[in-house]
Amino acid sequence: MSTENLTYSLGAGEPTLTPQYPAPPCGGAPGGTGTIVIDDVPSGDNTYGCNDSATAHGTFKLVLGDDVSYQRVTSNFPTSSPYFGTWRYTPDIAQVDLHQLGTGYDGHMWFTHQYATNDVWHEVTAIWTPDPSLLPTEPTTAHFDVYVHLPSHGGQATVQYTGHSGGDGGGDSHSCSINQAGGNGSDTWKELGSLPLSKGAYLTADNLSSSGTGDADVTFDAIALVPVSSGVPGVCGWGH
């Protein structure tokens, strides 16, 4: 723990605020005309002075827990416990460790911590879904290069992103693990690679991992889907 001795004279003005990190970017998504941008807050929100820099092209939602209830009948709750046999709804726990910061794309991002794969009680799943009107109907597909925004700070874990191509049953899925600390203190758009998408496509990420201990931060921020005419491998080697 470090300490600092600060002294001010009577009547002195408020000290100048020195930000530890640069102001978040307002806008600056990759691509141009036709790019689908999905942020992590609804349209119309003014965060950190950033009015919506791009028209909303889809929806973002967070799913807490695994959406089931469980009965306390394990060894942690013996028959003598007043909780034995009672039921608990997992999202009640997950929301306790869900937070937000004024950083990231357009000045806002969500964060939680990374937990073990079987810790469904702390599970938080982010889902980015493009507006179906912007995608063709199966079997026709359109190729999009997938980008995720990594804030300048707040991300520490390696997180798996999964792209679902759309169509019946969600279509094919393609996964890739990204180190969210890869921006090294700068806001970064990470290019995952291209996928063929149709109506019903979506991207997911969550905070569970075989190496999760409840310590490393996991962030959920904006994504961008940039139309391309041919496959782009990106860091995930997708290139479909």
Tokens of 177: 């693990």
Domains of the chain and CATH, by start: 36-227 (2.60.120)
pLDDT in the model for residue 83: 60
Tokens of 67: 């959406």
The stretch 92-116 carries a mean pLDDT of: 90
The stretch 211-234 carries a mean pLDDT of: 94
28 closest CA partner among 53, 51, 56: 53
pLDDT in the model for residue 45: 61
pTM, entire model: 0.83
Q: Answer whether residue 62 shows pLDDT above 70.
A: yes
pLDDT in the model for residue 120: 83
Chain-centre distance of CA 155, in angstroms?
Answer: 10
pLDDT, tens digit, for every residue of 171-197? 789 999 999 997 777 889 999 999 999
Sorted by sequence, the CB contacts under 8 Å of residue 116 that are 6+ apart come out as: 208, 209, 210, 212, 213
